[in-house]
Amino acid sequence: MKKLIFLGSATLSLLTPIRAFAQSPGPAVQINAPAVGFQSLSDFIAKALVLVFTVGAFLVLIMLIIGAYEWIASGGDKENVAKARNRIINALIGLIVLAVAFALVRLLGQFTGLTLTNLSIPGPATGTPNPSVL
Question: How large is the average pLDDT for residues 67-81?
Answer: 91
Q: What is the maximum alpha-carbon separation in the chain?
A: 112
Report yes or no on whether pTM surpasses 0.85. no
Q: Which residues lie closer than 8 Å to 46 by C-beta, 6 or more apart? A: 116, 117
Please provide the average confidence, as pLDDT, over all residues in the chain: 78
Per-residue pLDDT tens for 85-119?
999 999 999 999 999 988 888 787 777 766 655 55
Q: Give 64 or 112, the one with higher predicted confidence.
A: 64
Could you tell me the CA-to-CA distances from 53 to 25, 31, 46, 50, 91 in Å, in that order? 49, 33, 11, 5, 14
Where is 6: in which H helix or E strand?
helix 2-15
Question: How large is the average pLDDT for residues 76-81?
Answer: 90
pLDDT at 120: 58
pLDDT at 12: 75
